[in-house]
Structure 1
Amino acid sequence: MTSTLSTQQLPATDVDPFSHEVLEDPLPMQAALRDAGPVVHLSRYGIYAMARYEEVHAALTDWQSFQSAAGVGLSNFRYEQPWRPPSLLLEADPPHHDAPRAVLSKILGPRALRKLREEWFADAGELVDQVLAEHEFDAATQLAEAFPLRVFPDAVGIPRQGRENLLPYGDFLFNSFGPVNDLVQQGRPQLPELSAWVDEQCGRTVLDTTGFGAQIWAAADRGDITHEQAPLVVRSLLSAGVDTTVHGLAAALCAVATHPEQWQRLRREPGLARVAFDEAVRWQSPVQTFFRTATTDVDIGGTRIPEGEKILMFLGGANRDPRKWDTPDVFDLSRDPSGHVGFGMGIHQCVGQHVARLEAEALLTALAQRVEHIEIAGPTRRHHNNTLRAWESLPVRVHPA
């Protein structure tokens, strides 16, 4: 018979994973949590936490025991009213999750994206040529931000005016998954204006007739989803389709700028561009954390978590767990990173991951064709967010091929 630990017997810590010190560098805290045990009690918030790969993967794939519908942030939707209608993909479970997921999976699938490939590769080449006019530039803003904001809103079909609202809206959204701290308070004054703009972009009449958004409305016309669900599914694209890709691209650019031997390998083997992106997502984990809620008393990692309790999963911790990965702190293109949980896992795995990979492949390929060496050119700056591991500035110096 297997024994289970109660809350009183669990390893516990009063560390604040949402403090600025931890957000600046979460790796020491994640290592301490992994070393403490498979499940740790975070006494500051009265929640359970997991930072090892095995338990994080298990919770992500067991949606029946670890639900998303009570919110993927600290707030518990069983008792608290969310600030916006919950996401039909991220914050819903079957059966409510199934139809919207099926619609987006088809629209954003590899087959559907093939027609964008040539256009996005051309756009990446144009952007890189523009940026390389200067031998030193900020890779975070001029590449990692600029490229998704150049191609993805066009693909969704939203108007050009107002696109500068996408990043601050996403920043608030991902901050809101944490506690109501200073990062949330800073974003609140802008929220009514940002939310109104995003909601407006989700309407049928605003969207271009050929983009992802129009295809979502067409799915509603066919009865695949309801017309009430359609704007919420479009909103999911605008909420989670930009920031995560921006910071994933920044992670990849940081990786190749700090690992010159890996950059040279990528230049020799440009077919590794997608591997490089996935390894960068594992190495940096742009989405650091997500919450689940126990639907019943559930045993995991030798601990019994009571029904209704919140569980904080450290995706970043799992992606650097030495129990799963050899030399996990090293960015290595010879590694198979495909098991990483940077895009989640199971039925809630990121539905837009193929879009992000195509954007990354286009941008990294364009750079590899044109740049012999890339290196960090000055002090880098992190952008603090309760959920994302983000860059504010990533200055690089390049030597054209």
Structure 2
Amino acid sequence: MTETAAPSASAPVSEADPFSAPHLAHPGPLHQQLREAGPVVRLSRYDVHALARYREVHTALVDWQTFQSGAGVGLADFRHERPWRPPSLLLEADPPHHDAPRRVLRDILAPLSLRRLGQRWQEAADHLVGTVLAERGTEFDAFDALASAYPLQVFPDAVGLGPHGRENLLPYGNMAFNAFGPRNDLVDADAHRVGKLSAWVNAQCTREALSEDGFGTRIWAAADRGDLTPAQAPLVVRSLLTAGVDTTVHGLAAALYAFATHPGEWQRLRERPELARVAFDEAVRRQSPVQTFFRTATTDVDIAGTRIPQGSKILLFLGSANRDPARWTDPDRFDLTRDPSGHVGFGMGIHQCVGQHVARLEAECLLTALARRVAHLELAGEPRRHLNNTLRSWASLPVRVRPTT
């Protein structure tokens, strides 16, 4: 990192590219450099300001009036560039346009509404774990067998998707989250299938494609009541399918990786399975599935003495904020005695992930099922990452287990 005086502010300047393969694969060193450089750093490669400390990231997330999402939460500026798809009514909209869709989803995904799914999802988790242990033995890829298999079963069921084509969900999410970054090799690698994947997802969002008792049909019922417009309903269903799978999959993988490398914490969970949700949040804090999002300044704004001009794109490093030692004691440690509440892995403020309770319920069911059947969990090889401009993604997580007797 080089530090010079920025032309219009006192912020240090970094020539680093946070979207380069080395930084995506190992973001920790860059995050530390950015935090140590100052509360605001200008990234010269993209001419954007970056916030990597918890305090400033949290402030920007909750102040939607100053740090807007409606111009896009990626590098692309929707005020001057045409989005590659209709913008998300939740992530990429601000009040008043954001209010009705979020209110509808908040009611559908409220904790009380999810309780009826608890027993069914727990049974599905118990069955999956039993099947994996019976068919794959004591060594298997936990990313493929558990972290991705479980959400791809229970969540699309809950939304009301049919059984065919679910293998498109992760590639579509990968494409969507890549698009929040610059037009680099990761984006270009998906260019050949943008049309096919988008067409499949859009087809699943129609009223006719959804079962009668799922989240999707309840969204369309909200349109029938006038709580949404008919044009908004499929976009809200799409938001569920985009944000409700990948982040949960990679959050579960982060939790399994943490337990495989912290055997004492695995034993703590086995002794106190009620810690499953705390464990998931601690894993999300420690290895945030969503690493970055952008905001746009609606006015000239001063942050810790640095003037950020109106209209500037601002890159928020959520993953860095969640490991800021000014906020977290020993932040790199996975610790079930920690209170991880306040982490920004699910965002914060009005744009905080509306489906976070769904993710926590899935994690609780799967981790509880695994803790009942597995006495010891460890790595059986080197995990592999899947690079994405926004997500801290996994490609494989080889583990070795010792089942309970």
Query: Alignment partner for residue 331 of structure 1, among 330, 334, 337?
Result: 334
2:204 corresponds in structure 1 to 201
- State the partner residue of 2:156: 153
- Equivalent pair of 2:322/2:343 in contact (CA under 8 Å): yes
In the TM superposition, what are the counterparts of 1:59-78 in structure 2 within 5 Å?
A: 59-78=60-79
Secondary structure of the 1:392 match is strand
What is the letter of the counterpart of residue 290 of structure 1? F
Query: Per-residue displacement from partner, 1:132-174 (whole Å, max 9, x unpaired)?
Result: 1210000111100000001000000011111111000000000
Separation of aligned partners in 2, 1:337 and 1:294: 29
Q: Residue type matched to 1:131 in 2?
A: V
Matched, 1:12 2:13: yes
Structure 1 position 277 matched with structure 2 position 280: yes
Q: Distance in 1 between matches of 2:382 and 2:28?
A: 19
Shift in Å, 1:6? 6.3
Distance in 2, matches of 1:145 and 1:10, equals 41
- The CA distance in 2 between the partners of 1:322 and 1:240, in whole Å, is 28
Whole-angstrom distance in 2 between the partners of 1:69 and 1:398:
46
CA-CA distance at 1:9 after TM superposition: 2.6
For the 8 Å contact 1:49–1:313, the answer to whether it is kept is yes
Distance 1:259 1:203 in 2: 44
The 3-state SS of whatever aligns with 2:30 is helix
Letter of the aligned partner of 1:257 in structure 2? A
For the 8 Å contact 1:113–1:355, the answer to whether it is kept is: yes
Higher mean alpha-carbon deviation, 224-233 vs 271-280, is at 224-233
1:234 to 217, 237, 242: 237
3-state SS of the aligned residue for 1:382?
strand
CA distance in structure 1 between the partners assigned to 2:332 and 2:377 by the alignment: 20
State the SS of the aligned residue for 1:304: strand
The alignment status of 1:106 with 2:80, answered yes or no, reads no
C-alpha contact 1:7 1:41 (8 A) present in aligned 2? no
Q: Which residue in 2 is equivalent to 1:322?
A: 325
Structure 2 unpaired stretches of 5+:
1-5
- The offset of 1:302, in angstroms, is 2.0
Cα distance in 1 between the residues matched to 2:368 and 2:306: 46
Question: In structure 2, what is the Cα distance between the partners aligned to 1:235 and 1:395?
Answer: 32
Determine if the alignment matches structure 1 residue 384 to structure 2 residue 391.
no
Q: Which amino acid aligns with 1:177?
A: F
Which of 171, 193, 201 is residue 168 of structure 1 equivalent to? 171
Q: How many residues align?
A: 398
Q: Which residue of 2 aligns with 1:367?
A: 370
Corresponding residue of 2:24: 23
Residue among 224, 245, 260 paired with 1:221: 224
Name the SS of the counterpart of 1:132 in structure 2: helix
How far apart, CA to CA, are the structure 1 residues paired with 2:15 and 2:132?
Answer: 45
Aligned to 1:121: 122
**Residue in 2 that maps onto 1:294:** 297
Distance 1:33 1:194 in 2: 36
The one-letter code matched in structure 2 to 1:299 is D
Are 1:158 and 1:206, in contact at CA under 8 Å, matched by a contact in 2?
Answer: yes
Verify the 8 A CA contact 2:9 2:306 in the aligned structure 1: no
Identity rate, percent = 69
* One-letter identity of the residue aligned with 1:86: P
Q: Distance in 2 between matches of 1:250 and 1:368?
A: 15
* Corresponding residue for residue 344 of structure 2: 341
1:40 paired to 2:41: yes
Distance 1:304 1:50 in 2: 13
- TM-superposed CA distance for 1:301, in Å, is 2.4
**RMSD of equivalent CA atoms:** 1.0
Write the distance in 2 (CA, Å) between the matches of 1:260 and 1:346.
Answer: 35
Q: Distance in 2 between matches of 1:75 and 1:36?
A: 26
Q: CA deviation at 1:67?
A: 0.2
